[in-house]
Amino acid sequence: MSNAVLVLIEPDEGRVHLVSREALTFARQLGGEVHALMLGTVDEAVLADCREQGVAVVHEAQAAGGELDAYSAAAWATALEQALEGAGAATVLAGGTERGTEVLAHVAARRDLPMAANVLAVTSTEPLEVERQVAGGAVLERMRLDATPAVLTMAGHAVEAVAAASPGAAEHRTFEARVTPADLRARVQRVQARGGGDSSAALSAARVVVGAGRGAGSADGFADVDALAQRLGGAVGVSRAVTSLGWRPHHEQVGQTGSRIAPDVYIACGISGAIQHWAGVSSSKTIIAINTDADAPMMTKADYAVVGDMHEVLPAILEELDRA
């Protein structure tokens, strides 16, 4: 077995998903040859991203009978295990998306291997030890990962996706996945698309995120938040308090059990900034906090703070933008 690293990559709007590119950057730090696996069609844009990330081989899994057309974690795990053999990889990793985590847990369960979820860094290679986030990001755990292959998922935005010093060959290999009927016992039958705007669809990859917390006051308190997100071409993200109160849907939640974001700017309105929320937003390049409480954690951790009621400050910002 070589010391190759196999990375499960996912597509996003025609490119390799940002979280997958971060995982590829992280994989390079492990020292071995980097292989990528994508379920479904690998096109030139995906190959270009992989070349930039220094990937040596891009494996594409296909299934002539359409077994991979709809998502099944077990079918993906079967394809991943085949690619693992093909690459002779000593490490398999994925970005910490719902699917990345789920598929790797299937692989770990099938092979009775340990798995480390939400890894931030490798702290030792011989033996392999990692640092990972637990308790929703409130605590760091050092964990021994002394089995081969090592199975791990990355915490979203733990590393920044950067191009390799020299591009990879990104040799494109396709293989037929040996999906079994048992793999298809749990398979997505249908997807009901969200109605209305899809500003949340790309929350984890958005360049601008406007966030709102309990300070919104009620389910009707988000008009200015929505307007500012739209004006800046960004997405809306909310705190756990907001989804718990039923003011906004769960898919907009940022933090512990929601999306992790890394936008150019995060505008946090009426959010106190509990540690679980902070863990999901701390990779933002710039944070602007708006809150009536100048001592709220979000206000003291932000880059910029405005002391005031979001319902007064946001309309003024929208007005100023119209003027600009």
Partner 1 sequence: MAEVNILVCVKRAADVTGEVVLTADGTALDGRYSGYAMSGHETAAVEIAVSLVEQHGGSVTVLTLGDEDAVEQLRDALAVGADDAVHIEADSSAYGPADVAAAIAEVVRARADAGTAYDLVLVGNDAADTGNFQVGIRLAYLLDRPVVAGVQSAEVADGTATLHVGSAEGTETYEVALPAVATVLEGGVDPRYPNIRGRMRAKKAPVETVTAGVEPKGGRTLGLSLPPPAPTQVTVLGEGPGAAPAVVDVLRKIGVLS
Applying the rule CB under 8 A, the residues between 77 and 136 that interact with partner 1 are 98, 101-102, 105-106, 108-110, 112, 114-115, 117-118, 129, 132-136
- The residue among 20 and 118 lying less far from partner 1, judged by its C-beta, is 118
- The residue among 85 and 142 lying less far from partner 1, judged by its C-beta, is 142
Give residue for tokens 């009978």: 65
Minimum distance of partner 1 from residue 21's CB (angstroms): 17
Q: Does 229 sit near partner 1 (CB under 8 A)?
A: no
Near partner 1 by CB under 8 A: residue from 48, 164, 201, 227:
201
Q: How far is 252 from 259, CA to CA, in rounded Å?
A: 8
Q: How far is 288 from 302, CA to CA, in rounded Å?
A: 6
Specify whether the CB–CB gap between 222 and 194 falls below 8 A: no
Residues 136-175 that bind partner 1 (CB under 8 A): 136-146, 153
Stretch that binds partner 1, among 23-31, 48-56, 168-176, 295-303 (CB under 8 A): 295-303
Tell me the longest C-alpha to C-alpha distance in the chain: 63
Minimum distance of partner 1 from residue 15's CB (angstroms): 15
Stretch that binds partner 1, among 22-30, 49-57, 81-89, 257-265 (CB under 8 A): 257-265
Count other Cβ atoms within 10 Å, centred on residue 173: 14
Q: How far is 78 from 286, CA to CA, in rounded Å?
A: 41
Near partner 1 by CB under 8 A: residue from 63, 121, 164, 275:
275
SS3 for 70-134 is CCCHHHHHHHHHHHHHHHCCCEEEEECCHHHHHHHHHHHHHHCCCEEEEEEEEEEECCEEEEEEE
Q: Does 321 sit near partner 1 (CB under 8 A)?
A: yes
Residues 41-70 that bind partner 1 (CB under 8 A): none
The first and second tokens of residue 236, run together, are: 């809306």
Near partner 1 by CB under 8 A: residue from 166, 191, 220, 295:
191
Beta bridge partners of 92: 6, 151
Near partner 1 by CB under 8 A: residue from 51, 88, 173, 309:
309
Q: Does 271 sit near partner 1 (CB under 8 A)?
A: no
- The residue among 146 and 171 lying less far from partner 1, judged by its C-beta, is 146
Give residue for tokens 């369960």: 109
